[in-house]
Amino acid sequence: MGKNSVLVTDENGYVHILKGKCIGAGGEGEIYEIENEPDVVAKIYYPKYRTQDRQEKIRAMLETDYRLLPEYSWPICMLFIDSNFCGFMMTKLSGYEQLIDFYVFDNRRKYSWAKYVAVAMNIAAVVGTLHEHGLIIGDLKPENILVNTSDCKVAFVDTDSYDIRTASGKIYPCLVATPEFAAPELQGLDTLSIRNRSVFSTNTDCFCLAVILFRLLMNGVHPFACSSTSLSVSEYQPVSNIKNYRCAFFKETSLDGRLERTIQAPDINILPSKIQLLFKKAFLSKDNRPDAASWYYALLDLRKNLCRCAVKHEHEFYSHLDRCPWCSFESSYISKLKQIKSDIKQNEIKDKRRDGDFKEYLKQFGKNSVSNQSTNNTVQSSSSNLSGSYYYDTDNKGKIAYYIAWIVVIIIIIIWLFLL
């Protein structure tokens, strides 16, 4: 046993030796390898999270055999230190990376579109398995999903945050909902509201699932992200758009076309009409969103109907389309990017010109002020023989007037620049 090793016991009294150095840490605890047990790890909670409520929640999770959920870091058994609950044992995951690193736009060239379709299909299948066992995730988000980019297998972590319900009806709620992935009906709820009433369901899970699948299929773009040339985009960010059912990808929710796709987003018509309809129903209706099984079979059909581009063999697309949509996207993207760079350059030139005019103005203003001040000082000096106190007073007034003039001019210029 190592110098910093820790002894823990499971519910059956078996002793396990935790290796001294943790291999991962989160907000509530740390992950440790176990000596002579290479296939499992231990999650040890920080002392303040070793509560009776947490112990009861893990016990409730153990009502579902972890072998039924092989893609989840599900509890295998509870662990104790000196007979006090401290955490649980779970299957060790290796060879995975964060899903978000897999689907972000900057990494898309590393993988084929077929691989993104396969990963999306596997995620739908894994979520469907959990729902079939009467379980709910709650805060379903990509940060808690891992992917093996070689075989497209996925794994779900942080399962002890799930919305757990026992056979007797007791609920151990998920206590958070990530706004960028949460259904409209969950937006704006605080932790107390979530804790005191049952707000999560398979239906809310299916909204989160649709957002994740969309990002996998559509260049990593969030379905509720948008751009606009006629609106203040700051008022139309994803969370606000989710809450108000605004989506640039569908005509009836794009504010008559004023909400536009972001530059990285392909046209939604790259997808089969069936999948487009599934997204539309998931995002724009509150009830009866497409379930995981619907997504799985639609994605399976898409995967079976992929073909390669005759010009660029790395491009894969839905075979029912007349031409490769990725060639069109790349051409459009490069054109838009050039235009953006050109606009930025023109704005920089305008800013430099404006700064140059401003500096020249200040230079001329400074010369005039110095000249005026010299004249005033000469007049005052010639009259100083009349009264010393009068000379002192007028000199201070001149300085005050000088500084006030500067302040007024600067304020006027700032307002002028702001109005531009």
Q: How far is CA 330 from CA 2, 189, 222, 264, 410, in A?
A: 56, 40, 19, 9, 47
Whole-number pLDDT of residue 359: 59
Among the residue ranges 226-235, 356-365, 411-420, the one predicted with the least confidence is 356-365
Which residue, chain included where needed, has tokens 């291999």? 23
The most distant pair of C-alpha atoms in the chain lies apart, rounded to whole Å, by 107
Please tell me the predicted confidence (pLDDT) of residue 235. Answer: 80
Mean pLDDT, all residues of the chain: 86
The whole-number pLDDT of residue 376 equals 47
Task: Compute and round to an integer the Cα radius of gyration of the chain.
Answer: 32
Distance (Å, whole) CA 60 – CA 53: 10
Distance CA 123, CA 28 (A): 26
The pLDDT score that the predictor gives to residue 172 is: 92
Task: Quote the CA–CA distance of 158 and 174 in Å, as a whole number.
Answer: 11
In CATH, the architecture of 97-323 is Orthogonal Bundle (1.10)
Among 336, 350, 372, residue whose Cα is nearest residue 229? 336
Q: For the segment 404-415, what is each residue's pLDDT rounded down to a tens digit?
A: 888 888 888 887
How far apart CA 110 and CA 328 sit, in angstroms, is: 19
Query: Mind listing the pLDDT tens digit for each residue in 195-213?
Result: 666 789 999 999 999 999 9
Q: How many Å apart are CA 32 and CA 6, to the nearest integer?
A: 10
- This prediction's pTM: 0.80
Report the pLDDT averaged over residues 22-39.
94
Q: Where are the domains of the chain?
A: 6-91, 97-323, 353-419
CATH architecture, domain defined by 6-91: 2-Layer Sandwich (3.30)
- Nearest Cα neighbor of 171 from 200, 193, 207, 191 is 200
DSSP readout, 106-133? GGGGGS-HHHHHHHHHHHHHHHHHHHHT
Mean pLDDT on 264-279 = 97
* Cα distances (Å, whole numbers) of residue 52 to 8, 56, 140, 355: 18, 6, 25, 65
Q: Fold identical between 6-91 and 97-323?
A: no
Report how far residue 274's alpha carbon sits from residue 187's, in angstroms, rounded to the nearest whole number. 28
Q: Which of 23-37, 54-68, 163-177 has the lowest mean pLDDT?
A: 163-177
- Higher-scoring residue by pLDDT: 215, 188: 215
Cα–Cα dist 28/23, whole Å = 14
Pair of tokens at residue 39: 């296939």
The Cα 158–Cα 179 span in angstroms is: 18
pLDDT per residue as tens digits for the range 127-168: 999 999 999 999 999 999 999 999 999 999 999 999 998 888
